[in-house]
Amino acid sequence: MNILLACASGMSTSLVVKKMEEAAKQKGIDCKIWAVSQDIVEEEMKKADVLLIGPQMRFLKGKLEPKANEVGIKVDVIKPMDYGRCDGNAILNTAISMIKNNTK
């Protein structure tokens, strides 16, 4: 499972990534989770199973959805409350649900 997070600079989601990795480890889920800046997200999404966008960058969703559809992945905005609390478990669950419901 490959989970890509996008934010303004690739830095603001680093704590979220860490918390998601901890949650995945506790659940015994093997996955790669990484964050990138908006500048390279289109290239990186080719390697992902799902793309989650930081709430501060929600305006990117409409721009990125056509490209995500081309590569066969789902894209959504992280819930602001989950992001603000760095709730890695909730965000991981969102990503897993998106992947399970995606019919590539």
The structure's pTM equals 0.92
The kind and range of the H/E element at 4 are strand 2-7
Check residue 62 and give its pLDDT: 94
SS3 53: strand
Active site residues: 7
Whole-angstrom distance, CA of residue 48 vs CA of residue 71: 9
Domains of the chain, by residue range, sit at: 2-100
Tens of pLDDT, residues 2-28: 999 998 876 668 899 999 999 999 999
Which CATH class name applies to 2-100? Answer: alpha beta
What pLDDT is stored for residue 25 in this prediction? 97
